[in-house]
Amino acid sequence: MRIMNVVGARPNFVKIAPLISEMRKCQDISPLLVHTGQHYDEKMSDSFFRDLEIPVPDYNLCVPPGLRVTQVSEIMVRLAPVVMRERPDVVLVVGDVNSTLAAALTAVRSCVPVAHVEAGLRSFDLRMPEEVNRVMTDEVSDLMFVTEPSGVENLLKEGKPPQRIFLVGNVMIDSLKRALRRMEGSAISAVRNALRGTSAAPSLRYAVLTLHRQGLVDDPVLFGKVWKVLEEIGCRVPIIFPVHPRTHLRMRQIGCRRSMADEDRGNFDGIHMIPPMGYLEFLSLQRQAAFVLTDSGGVQEEAPSLGKRVLVMRDVTERPEGIQHGIIKLVGTRQADIVSAVIETLQDEGSRPNPGANPSGE
């Protein structure tokens, strides 16, 4: 069986790594790997291929950076001839990024079956581009591999045939488990470097922050308000903030005086901004953190498996299981809610969530 795996962005690399590794062990499967180039540089792409031991892609579509509205169509234009040439038995896509949807649409229009890993997750908020990608990808998928029971329920409610839905667990957590075995040494020294010069350094007590959802960082008013809240939190506990390129760009566009210099690090008001970290380094950073503040989908799943409390700065999540188990908390974007959740989390610091209670971890 020829399986064409298509990836494009940071979270995709984390998800595809254990799948490619298993496919390569199986004599009957010949996996192909296509990188769309959606994320393309050392920090957002190359380092992940190294850290996760992903083989060099068979194709790199080198989609131009900076496209927003037309990125899906541009990827389709570049992927279609590759699908025609290779005639895979199935195209496998992961997650909810533009490359996921583009590859699924290209496959279905080329009469190649589509398998979607991380199917069925729904935030029910179509203002999120990721939600549009999720819904549309599942609409054209022949095989839907689901990470948590809510995903199965969602797909069944949408009328998807039960025989095409498989509750299989979470490949991000497979990657995490593999990484934990390898991540000592260099990853830990990278964390020390990240903390150097911050008030977190002596005690190693800090919070980790990631932010990149369009609904938050593309709205200057909301982003400005959230930033003030983060400064307030930074006075209580230093925040280490590896800045996503999208967020960095928005900070520059809105003339944020706290914008991180390209090569430099910025240490402002208890918020220590650094460039995006490699996968192993970032896991190490999370593992030693007091808690994690994020709007990321993947980090919501990872951090509890590292025994960390997670405060999610969103009003809705497509991953409700962690909330039902009380290991992640949706705190929205309002000052009072975020600050009181942080205070509660700091008071509760001694009692760590049990990673075994993380449904994603099983």
**Residues binding ligand UDP (CB under 6 A):** 10-11, 14, 210, 242, 276-277, 279, 282-283, 296-299, 302
Nearest CB to ligand UDP, comparing residues 59 and 241: 241
Q: Nearest distance from residue 299's CB to ligand UDP, in Å?
A: 5
Q: Nearest distance from residue 336's CB to ligand UDP, in Å?
A: 25
Question: Tokens standing for 207?
Answer: 């919070």
Q: Nearest distance from residue 81's CB to ligand UDP, in Å?
A: 28
Please state, as a whole number, how many other Cβ atoms lie within 10 Å of the Cβ of residue 70. Answer: 12
Which residue has the closest beta carbon to ligand UDP? Answer: 298
Nearest CB to ligand UDP, comparing residues 297 and 353: 297
DSSP 3-state of 160? coil
Q: Nearest distance from residue 13's CB to ligand UDP, in Å?
A: 8
CA distance linking residue 29 with residue 55, whole number of Å = 15
- Please enumerate in sequence order all residues whose Cβ is within 8 A of that of 196, keeping only pairs 6 or more positions apart, or say none: none
CA distance linking residue 304 with residue 319, whole number of Å = 13
Question: Tokens standing for 136?
Answer: 């549309």
CA distance linking residue 306 with residue 300, whole number of Å = 11
Q: Nearest distance from residue 39's CB to ligand UDP, in Å?
A: 9
Nearest CB to ligand UDP, comparing residues 112 and 293: 293
CA distance linking residue 139 with residue 175, whole number of Å = 27
Q: Nearest distance from residue 177's CB to ligand UDP, in Å?
A: 13
| DSSP assignment letter at 270 | T
| CA proximity to 101, closest of 70, 126, 136 | 136
Catalytic residues, by residue number, are 212
Question: Tokens standing for 103?
Answer: 């590859």
Nearest CB to ligand UDP, comparing residues 83 and 102: 102
Contact status, residue 352 vs residue 334, Cβ threshold 8 Å:
no
CA distance linking residue 297 with residue 302, whole number of Å = 9
Beta-strand pair 266-268/271-274 = antiparallel
Contact status, residue 67 vs residue 74, Cβ threshold 8 Å:
yes
